[in-house]
Amino acid sequence: MAGTTTHTTTFRNLVADLIGDTCDSGKLVFRITGSTANAVSSAVATLTLNAAAFPAASVGVITAAAITSDTSAAGGTIAFATIETSAGVVKAHCTVGTSGDAINVTSGGLAVTALDTVSCSALTYTAML
Which pLDDT score, from 0 to 100, does residue 102 have?
Answer: 87
Q: What is the pLDDT of residues 15-66, one digit of tens each?
A: 999 999 999 999 999 999 999 999 999 999 999 999 999 999 999 999 999 9
- Domain presence at residue 105: yes
> What whole-number percentage of the chain has pLDDT above 90?
85
In a domain, 49, yes or no: yes
CA distance 24 to 12: 19
Does residue 94 lie within any of the structural domains?
yes
Q: Where are the beta strands (DSSP E) in 1-129?
A: 27-31, 43-49, 61-63, 67-68, 76-77, 80-84, 90-97, 103-104, 111-112, 124-126
Say if 3 falls within a structural domain: no
| Domain presence at residue 119 | yes
Q: Got the DSSP string for 80-106?
A: EEEEE-TT--EEEEEEEESSSSSEE--
What range defines the domain where residue 46 resides?
9-126
In the chain, the number of structural domains is 1
Residue 39 lies in a domain: yes
Q: How confident is the model at residue 1 (pLDDT cuts 50, 70, 90)?
A: low
pLDDT for residue 118: 94
- pLDDT one-digit tens code per residue, 72-91: 999 999 999 999 999 999 99
